[in-house]
Amino acid sequence: MATSSSPLLSTLFLHSPPSSSRISNGSFFNPSPRSLSLYPVRSRRCLRILSKLPLDDTDNDDCALLPRLSAAVKPFLLLCTSVALSFSLFAVSPAVESAAAFVVTTPRKLQTDELATVRLFQENTPSVVYITNLAVRQDAFTLDVLEVPQGSGSGFVWDKKGHIVTNYHVIRGASDLRVTLADQSTYDAKVVGFDQDKDVAVLRVDAPKDKLRPIPVGISADLLVGQKVFAIGNPFGLDHTLTTGVISGLRREISSAATGRPIQDVIQTDAAINPGNSGGPLLDSSGTLIGINTAIYSPSGASSGVGFSIPVDTVGGIVDQLVRFGKVTRPILGIKFAPDQSVEQLGVSGVLVLDAPPTGPAGKAGLQSTKRDGYGRLILGDIITSVNGTKVTNGSDLYRILDQCKVGDEVTVEVLRGDHKEKISVTLEPKADET
């Protein structure tokens, strides 16, 4: 480390004798005439003057100016010399400085796939929202009515009109809903419509268009097992979290949490999906929507590497109907049937009709319900074994067939009544409006 100093100070520092000869009587500059012989000639003359010793013949004019200095200047020079020597002892050597000069902080370098993931998150995060489910509760002591959060989830912006798509179970039982956008602005949301059978709901917020960034919608028909997927949501209330994984299975089937009706062609992924991720988007590597994160398979309630997403091809049609009509028109038979386990215990295969209201399609066509006789004995109703020639072994099979039909279609239902089979024609009707 380069430092500037006077020739006098440089001479004293560079030609210092051993420490034992520099210190006498506890004073740094108090050498005896004998000890001065250890110093070089140039340093010796200066020390004689500073120590008030007489000059000898070896002295020359290098320090001739010093005797003429006033008494007030000499202590100052002594102090400066001491400070310079002390500083030199603690100064960093050039070798250490040169080594430290090689410690250079380089800018962070990311791999190509990392850059793509970062870009995907930054571009799609503004489309993801945080949904708070509020419920009315009455204080037990004051009887005041309060709104308290009873759950939360995720969603995403569908269009510039303020439509937000999420899962039905995220908003179920809510008295009020609040949507928080990516810029942390919060808006009250209204329910446009929902489909309990497919666990899809559409909300609407009155937010400025410049704050709404619709998510790019892709297709799910050409997905392949093994391709990368990315889930963005708000697990456990944590704001905008990204998890990555791959598609680990296709054409899975899960049951709706609200109605138990099967949801078909579900995407299975190992991307971490936790409570709070529900309703958030599942994206492919190009950043387009391919599904809605809806459920996980986990005994503990946390991510176990098996998550499910409703495919966007299914969601798209449902959202269009909800935005246009506020409901989904889906055909029904108009029956209540027994759990599959109960039918298996009877040793038969099919769907046991528990109730067929006379005002419903099945009741109008003549299907018989399960009932009890005058003695309290159970009389089984009709057992549906096929619809339009397609075998029905359980409730999922029946729902799967009805999903392929439209309102007004006439289907042939084959039932087992007593010990013989009958075929009955039933005209499908729309599902009653939900409130």
159 and 231 inside one domain:
no
Q: How far apart are the first and last CA of the chain?
A: 82
311 and 334 inside one domain:
no
Domain assignment of residue 413, given as a range:
329-428
Q: What is the pLDDT of residue 144?
A: 59
Residue spans of alpha helices (H) in 187-283: none
Examine the fold and report which residue of 323, 354, 384 is the final residue of a domain before the chain moves on.
323
Examine the fold and report which residue of 289, 323, 357 is the final residue of a domain before the chain moves on.
323
229 and 165 inside one domain:
no
Cα 375 to Cα 86, 354, 392: the distances in Å are: 113, 19, 32
pTM: 0.64
Of 154, 132, 172, 156, nearest to 319 (Cα)?
156
181 and 248 inside one domain:
no
**Phi, psi dihedral angles at 100 (to 5 degrees):** -70, -25
Q: Residue 105: inside a domain, yes or no?
A: no
**What CATH number did the domain enclosing 401 receive?**
2.30.42.10
Q: What is the pLDDT of residue 260?
A: 77
Examine the fold and report which residue of 203, 235, 264 is the final residue of a domain before the chain moves on.
203
Measure the CA dihedral 388/389/395/397, to 10°: -100
337 and 422 inside one domain:
yes
**Residue 351 corresponds to which tokens in the numbers above?**
């769907």
**Residue 191: Cβ within 10 Å count:** 15
Q: What is the pLDDT of residue 4?
A: 44
Q: Residue 49: inside a domain, yes or no?
A: no
Euclidean distance between CA atoms 248 and 197, whole angstroms: 24
Rg value, the chain, Cα: 43
Q: Residue 417: inside a domain, yes or no?
A: yes
Beta strand 163-166 with 241-255 is unpaired
Euclidean distance between CA atoms 234 and 182, whole angstroms: 11
343 and 288 inside one domain:
no
Q: What is the pLDDT of residue 300?
A: 63
Q: Could you list the active site residues?
A: 169, 199, 278
Q: What is the pLDDT of residue 113?
A: 85
Q: How many domains does the chain have?
A: 3
- Burial readout 374-401 (b: 16 or more C-beta within 10 A, e: otherwise): eeeeeebbbbbbbbeeeebbbbbbbbbb
319 and 333 inside one domain:
no
Mean pLDDT, each 10-residue run in order, the chain (435 residues)? 43 42 44 50 51 50 49 64 62 48 60 89 92 72 59 89 92 88 90 91 92 92 92 80 91 83 88 84 93 80 77 91 87 88 84 92 92 86 92 88 87 90 92 60
Q: What is the pLDDT of residue 151?
A: 74
Biggest CA-to-CA distance, the chain: 145
Q: Residue 162: inside a domain, yes or no?
A: yes
Q: Residue 233: inside a domain, yes or no?
A: yes
Q: Residue 9: inside a domain, yes or no?
A: no
Q: Residue 252: inside a domain, yes or no?
A: yes
195 and 144 inside one domain:
yes
Q: Residue 109: inside a domain, yes or no?
A: no
283 and 333 inside one domain:
no
231 and 298 inside one domain:
yes
**What CATH number did the domain enclosing 273 receive?**
2.40.10.10
333 and 422 inside one domain:
yes
